Amino acid sequence: MTLPRRLSASIVDYRAARFARHAVQSLVREWLAAGGARDALDVVVVDNAPGVTTRAEHAALEAAGARVVVASENLGYARGANLALEHARHRAAGDWLAVLNPDVGFLPGSLAALFRGPWPENLGVLAPATYVDPTCELALPPHRTPSVASLRAELVAEHDVGAARRLARRRAVRAERVWAATAPLELSMLSGAALFLPATNLARLKGLFDPRYPLYYEDTDLARRVRASGLACVFEPRARLVHHWARSSGVGAEFEADPRARFRISLRAYFERWHGAEAAREIELAAERAERLPSAGRCPPIHPVQALGEVAGAPELVFPRAARWLVELALTPHFPLAAGVLVDGRSWRLGPRAWEWLFPGRYFVRALDRDSFEVGGAWSFDKTTPARQDPLTLDETARDRGGW
């Protein structure tokens, strides 16, 4: 497979114009490096924070190679992406569309690898692997389509250590399969941070994102529609992007007073659409009950944890034996959403290029034997140093290319 004839990319920016600029720059660089013509790449950035982003930031985005569309109000992610699509120039047969978060960065060779193939004939949407850092050490967690049963299990795991341990093991088994992949892999859903699809698929999918989702679940809903239409969600592990998650969010003042509000609206909309109003209400009530649990009633750590205390630099973790290890890093001791790395040997330390992107706070780490998924150790530490706030530069990613 070669590059598509033309590509239109959409980026919804909410107060992250510096990161969006790098996303545009790195995309343009990789398109040209892969042999694409400059006029065959169209990049639209929707400014979803009207009145906040400055004219200088707009000018920087345009200088990087984007067209800027200023929304009339804060539209939310789904509506912002749909607005960008309305302005896309390349939507004919043979053209492709890309939907990108503003805090992604294309690494050298990533776009050429993305379109390497082969893929199933019923390809619906394609996504690259995403990492915390430009050396591609710490992989971000794979996504799985939620169901009523899976949401019930997660809510039970909030206060049942046995249930939490079993759920974390199942997640680790799925994650290891994705992180170890070396060829295209069909999955139930893909991360919405970077999605690519043939433009002609939009008619079959009846559009891109459902505007009912103010934030969250828009990519889950898209994946369901992809599979319901007989198409496939394909993960391409050889294409690698940086995704500095949590560098951009927000959906309007009406939601900002309660960060959970936007999640709740999307949660209910998703389950109403795919499982019915009764299931949606059941999940919503269960989530409310779980949130009312006192902190003492929540599930304790699922493994004995060695507390390493406050650290300024990444600690070295020593395993009980030399083996193939899956190391997971999470913000809670139940590992409901964990980044990870596959390592061999008796010890591991997170590299400085990944460490600098972690926010200050408490982290939990565990090591699992990749052959048995038995736990070889669990640790916690408190990172005291601040996270990097500046986006990557093209020079940095070119320098780090040898690390992956």
User: Using an 8 Å Cβ cutoff, are 105 and 134 in contact?
Assistant: yes
Q: How far apart, in whole angstroms, are the C-alpha atoms of residue 348 and residue 376?
A: 13
Determine the average pLDDT of the residues in 312-331. Answer: 98
Q: Among 17-31, 204-218, 253-267, which range has the highest average pLDDT?
A: 17-31
Q: Is the pLDDT of residue 43 over 50?
A: yes
Q: How far apart, in whole angstroms, are the C-alpha atoms of residue 325 and residue 150?
A: 26
Q: What is the pLDDT of residue 255?
A: 40
Q: How far apart, in whole angstroms, are the C-alpha atoms of residue 393 and residue 391?
A: 7
| Residue 257 pLDDT grade (very low, low, confident, very high; cuts 50, 70, 90) | very low
Which of 43-57, 73-87, 144-158 is predicted with the least confidence, judged by mean pLDDT?
A: 144-158
| Per-residue pLDDT tens over the stretch 186-222 | 999 999 999 999 999 999 999 999 999 988 899 999 9
Enumerate the domain spans of the chain. Answer: 306-383
| Residue 158 pLDDT grade (very low, low, confident, very high; cuts 50, 70, 90) | confident
Q: For domain 306-383, is the CATH number 1.10.3470?
A: no
| Residue 250 pLDDT grade (very low, low, confident, very high; cuts 50, 70, 90) | very low
Tokens of 10: 């959409």
What sign for the dihedral angle of Cα 16, 22, 28, 34? negative
Q: With pLDDT > 70 as the criterion, what percentage of the chain qualifies?
A: 92
Tokens of 380: 């916690």
| Per-residue pLDDT tens over the stretch 335-378 | 989 999 999 999 999 999 999 999 999 999 999 999 999 999 99
| Per-residue pLDDT tens over the stretch 264-312 | 889 899 999 999 999 998 888 877 776 676 654 466 899 999 999 999 9
Q: What is the pTM of this model?
A: 0.93
Look at 289 and 385; give whichever has higher pLDDT: 385
Q: How far apart, in whole angstroms, are the C-alpha atoms of residue 179 and residue 7?
A: 27
